[in-house]
Structure 1
Amino acid sequence: MAENSGCTLDENTRRYYLDAMGIQCWQPLAPAGLQPPVTDRAPASVSGSEAKPADQSAPERSVPEKSVPENPVIDQPLPLAQIIAQCQSCGLHTARRQALVDRGDRTSDLAFVLLAPQADDETAGELCSGEAGELFRKMLAAIDVGLDSVFITTLLKCPVPAGHTVTPAEVAACRGYLEQQLQVVQPRLVVVLGQSAAQCLLQKGDSLDALREAINPATRNSLQAGQSDSPYRFASMPLLVSYSPHELLAEAQHKRKAWADLQLLQSLMTQG
């Protein structure tokens, strides 16, 4: 038989290719009698180009690996409703049973701002509920606007106890939430409903009628003139003020003035 003419692989090269092919090699243990004696002597130094054995090389400094959890938690902003539900920035949070952030269409051109959720709202689970909600639905229907097609929210995010006077600190605690909401919705007009809501938002002590007479004509004139710098704005959006449905239920004599405000609102929203 002819001799094999192929080159012979050394042991290290052979193991490399077997390992690359996925074939596991086992190193047989040397017989007990042939085990090299264990010695505490330091190995002789290696000079020239002779390589050091692997077990005699200087130990490398180990770098601790960063621990990565199996399901890493990504830090994301909490939804506004969850932030409000956890808010304890003022004492009003003790009266809160649930966070009622808004109601209606978050892409609407028309936003209404009430003072705070009512007790009926927390029971119903939505803002402007009950008898006040039905009255407001009829008011909007009179100008061909659906209740669900507008955006409704509140300045204060927690109910105000009966007889409690809202403080500037309480308004400041919630003002940023309202600004965030309106920046997301980007309505063409913001209508503040109710004397307390208007006074707190605008930081003015004038009566609602005085605010209506000052703000509504100024906003009307600037919008009709195509001006973008209306003197009365919140979060850079033009304002109107009017009566809340809760006030109209208690004082029906104001319905005529509320109707005039609705007609103004309709004309501004339809002028393009």
Structure 2
Amino acid sequence: MLENISPPLDRDQLIMQAAALADHLHRAGVQWMPRPNEQAVQELKTRLFSPNAEAEGAGNAAASTMEAPGAGTQTPVSRPDSASLSAANPSAAKPTPAKTVPTKSAPATTSAPTAAGASPLLNAVAKPYPGASLPLAQRESELVALASEVAACQKCSQLARCRTHTVFGEGNANARVVFFGEAPGADEDREARPFVGKAGELLTKMIQACKFSRDDVYILNTVKCRPPGNRNPDPEEIANCRPYFEKQIELIRPEYIVCLGAVSGQALLDSKLSVGRLRGRFHPYFDSKVVVTYHPAYLLRNPAAKKAAWDDLQMMLRDAGLL
């Protein structure tokens, strides 16, 4: 298992991610977080990240530049040397154990203590979608062309043989919210539309509870063909369809992506965590905020989970200013 552990980020990456996180929290409405100060950052880098700087000292000094709630402009706090510490308090000179750097495979599982109405903490640093945002007519045209390409796809020989239709996706090419499911079922395969069976009826009710209609949002799946026996798509099938669903999302550029179930959440976020570990906070996918919640088919089998799913949708609605 050790070979699967990602190496810790280098110092420059940590600084860049901390600055990006501070900027995101300001945009989300958090008032107590100080804005990045380029001069202070450079001074800290020079003083703390020299070859003789201690790893734990760097972390402590960086943390000391954060403002307390309601405080004014912060001033970098100097770190006393070990001699002065020893003179003032002999026990302070004892080294402290080095802190373990969290790896990519173990993201934080709690939300940030933000002000009322602010977004839960994003799980990583977001980056913009590549290229320019297209006009609506051009988005629709490119989605139609991509749907034709999907209809002729033969990458997954088993799925291509047993499908009745490919199920590309449908909805508003300028949608604010995209609902991202797992794979078509028998009803979807027959009608060439996503989420039209019993799970689709529940999804429609969930969308309507958010004060949207299906025409307001966009709905798609990770794979475009029904797997035999309604099994989950295997990793190779998801990999074959990845360019299609990534291009759909890139063209639409939604503000929010609601991943319905583990398959879509894990595929989009490149994660192996369960829905229970991924839900309850936002994750970034380029400029979009990702919400992971339970699949409508799971909710039909486990009605008690409907409250948690509604909590996830309410989190999105509050962040969007719709609740």
User: Which TM-score band (shorter chain)?
Assistant: 0.5 to 0.7
C-alpha displacement at 1:163, in angstroms? 6.7
Counterpart check, 1:181 vs 2:232: no
Counterpart check, 1:250 vs 2:279: no
C-alpha displacement at 1:191, in angstroms? 1.1
C-alpha displacement at 1:234, in angstroms? 2.9
For the 8 Å contact 1:199–1:206, the answer to whether it is kept is yes
SS where residue 233 of structure 2 aligns? coil
C-alpha displacement at 1:263, in angstroms? 0.7
Distance 1:89 1:96 in 2: 13
SS where residue 248 of structure 1 aligns? helix
Distance 2:253 2:298 in 1: 27
Counterpart check, 1:79 vs 2:79: no
Counterpart check, 1:137 vs 2:195: no
C-alpha displacement at 1:96, in angstroms? 2.0
* Structure 1 length-normalised TM: 0.61
For the 8 Å contact 2:182–2:264, the answer to whether it is kept is yes
CA offsets, 1:139-172, max 9 Å, x none? 2222212122110011111112237453322211
Aligned residues: 181
User: What is the aligned-residue identity percentage?
Assistant: 32
Equivalence for 1:109: 176
Counterpart check, 1:166 vs 2:217: no
Equivalence for 1:204: 271
CA offsets, 1:219-254, max 9 Å, x none? 2xxxxxxxxxxxx33354221111121111122121
Residue identity opposite 1:161 in structure 2: P
Distance 1:165 1:109 in 2: 28
Structure 1 pair 81/163, CA: closer, same or farther in 2 (3 Å)?
Answer: closer
Distance 2:232 2:200 in 1: 24
For the 8 Å contact 1:182–1:235, the answer to whether it is kept is no
C-alpha displacement at 1:128, in angstroms? 0.7
Counterpart check, 1:239 vs 2:294: no
Gaps of 5+ in 1: 1-76, 220-231
RMSD (Å) for aligned C-alpha atoms: 2.3
CA offsets, 1:40-69, max 9 Å, x none? xxxxxxxxxxxxxxxxxxxxxxxxxxxxxx
For the 8 Å contact 1:155–1:175, the answer to whether it is kept is yes
Equivalence for 1:56: none
For the 8 Å contact 2:261–2:293, the answer to whether it is kept is yes
**Which sits farther off after the overlay, 203-212 or 101-110?**
203-212
C-alpha displacement at 1:198, in angstroms? 1.5
Residue identity opposite 2:154 in structure 1: Q
Task: Within 5 Å, give how 1:2-21 maps onto structure 2.
Answer: none
Gaps of 5+ in 2: 1-141
For the 8 Å contact 2:188–2:197, the answer to whether it is kept is yes
Residue identity opposite 1:255 in structure 2: K
Counterpart check, 1:267 vs 2:315: no
CA offsets, 1:193-231, max 9 Å, x none? 112222233332222101114xx2xx2xxxxxxxxxxxx
CA offsets, 1:87-143, max 9 Å, x none? 111232223211221122111111111011111112233111022222112222222
Distance 1:146 1:210 in 2: 29
For the 8 Å contact 1:143–1:262, the answer to whether it is kept is yes
* Structure 2 length-normalised TM: 0.52
